[in-house]
């Protein structure tokens, strides 16, 4: 396995604290948050993203008929009041 390399960044204390909170919730280190973010932002190819979009677009979801769906939407807009 190739030797890993070190990268160092400086951050504002409040930003770093937020990252520590996120890392704790996800049960990972702050370093792993950075590595994941870099991989996702810079190493994910367009074709990977396109496959994900195609997969989502290909989903078939059963929906109620329009009158029922319209009623549910209206109820949600009214805060669940009939």
Query: In angstroms, rounded to a whole number, what is the distance separating the alpha carbons of residues 12 and 20?
Result: 13
Instruction: Say yes or no to pLDDT of 82 above 80.
Output: no
Instruction: Say yes or no to pLDDT of 47 above 90.
Output: no
Angle at 17 between CA 11 and CA 19, to 5 degrees: 80
Instruction: Say yes or no to pLDDT of 81 above 70.
Output: no
Instruction: Say yes or no to pLDDT of 2 above 80.
Output: no
Joined tokens for residue 28 = 């990972």
Q: What is the pLDDT of residues 11-34, one digit of tens each?
A: 999 999 999 999 999 999 999 999
Higher-pLDDT residue of 50, 33: 33
Average pLDDT of span 48-61 = 87
């Amino acid at each position: 396995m190739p030797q890993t390399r070190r990268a160092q960044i400086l951050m504002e204390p409040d930003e770093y604290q937020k990252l520590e909170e996120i890392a704790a919730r996800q049960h990972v280190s702050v370093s792993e948050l950075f590595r994941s973010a870099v991989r996702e932002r810079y190493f994910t190819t367009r074709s990977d993203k396109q496959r994900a979009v195609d997969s989502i677009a290909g989903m078939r979801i059963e929906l109620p008929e329009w009158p029922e769906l319209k009623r549910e939407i209206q109820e949600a807009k009214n805060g669940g009041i009939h």
